[in-house]
Amino acid sequence: MSSEVSIKKMSVWFEKMTAREYRKGTVIPEFRAVRRVVTDCLRLLTGFDDASIAYDGGFVVSYTASDGTYMEDQPFETLSDGYRVVIGLVADIARRMAQLNPFLAEQAVARTPGVVLIDEVDLHLHPKWQGKILGVLHELFPLVQFIVTTHVTMVISSVQSRNLRVIEPVDGGDGKYVAVSPDDETYGVNAGAILREVMGPRISRRRFRTNWMNSASI
């Protein structure tokens, strides 16, 4: 499913749930769980505790920007690509959990297991967020296994090598590929070492191939 479709479904669901809360005059537990996980995401990524998310004729977010400016009720579509990608992803995963297991109420996110595949998890993210995103996702969704692709050193250095797989062609394999673990540890390693020891040799051998990728799971 494309990100645009996911965001549209998420917005429709937020509108419906907001209307239900207004009619009932009470908080819907699974809806609160989704809102909380999005605000927790922003808190973990930005370091500020004043983030919030709501539906007010449209999907709006309030948060403190990196320069210290408080951004109140910002329409979702006006946010930067990085904010839209992360908020859209986290809210969509949480929404699916709430819809799948509404009986878990406020524990819908924390107690729902699953497997999530994300292509180019670093796409549009600020470098500071690239190194945090996998840890944040793991903290927000403790029972979910994330399988992601990336070619960014900041993402690779945020996980241990035992959780990494490099997809490379088999010599003489007629288009066959194999997943191998890096020989060297990657967690906390600087970008230069990862480029040299993990990415460099493989990129050199496959410089004309466009489907090189690293796969990481936590």
DSSP string, 178-193: EEE--SS--TT--HHH
Q: How far is CA 127 from the centre of its chain?
A: 14
- Regarding whether 184 and 83 lie in a shared domain, the answer is no
pLDDT at 19: 92
- Regarding whether 128 and 103 lie in a shared domain, the answer is no
Residue 195 or residue 91, greater confidence: 91
* Mean pLDDT for the chain overall: 81
Residue 60 and residue 54 in contact, taking contact as beta carbons nearer than 8 Å:
yes
- Regarding whether 105 and 36 lie in a shared domain, the answer is yes
Instruction: State whether residue 35 is helix, strand or coil.
Output: helix
Check pLDDT > 60 for residue 201: no
- Regarding whether 200 and 166 lie in a shared domain, the answer is yes
- Regarding whether 198 and 122 lie in a shared domain, the answer is yes
Mean pLDDT across 132-143: 94
Mean pLDDT across 183-207: 70
- Regarding whether 71 and 105 lie in a shared domain, the answer is yes
- Regarding whether 141 and 89 lie in a shared domain, the answer is no
- Regarding whether 183 and 95 lie in a shared domain, the answer is no
Q: Say how far apart CA 170 and CA 72 lie, in whole Å.
A: 53
Mean pLDDT across 90-111: 93
Among residues 112, 141, 169, the one where a domain terminates is 112
Number of compact structural domains in the chain: 2
Among residues 61, 79, 112, the one where a domain terminates is 112
Query: 165, 190, 186, 168: which is closest to 177 by C-alpha?
Result: 168
- Regarding whether 140 and 95 lie in a shared domain, the answer is no
- Regarding whether 39 and 100 lie in a shared domain, the answer is yes
High-pLDDT (> 70) share of the chain, %: 88
Q: Say how far apart CA 81 and CA 207 lie, in whole Å.
A: 29
* Residues with Cβ within 8 Å of residue 205, at least 6 apart in sequence: 168
- Regarding whether 202 and 136 lie in a shared domain, the answer is yes
Residue 161, class by beta-carbon neighbours within 10 Å (0-12 exposed, 13-18 middle, 19+ buried)? middle
Residues in the chain, how many? 218
**Domain range enclosing 10:** 3-112
Query: Picking from 118-122, 139-143, 174-178, which range would have the lowest pLDDT averaged per residue?
Result: 174-178
Residue 18 or residue 208, greater confidence: 18
Among residues 63, 84, 112, the one where a domain terminates is 112
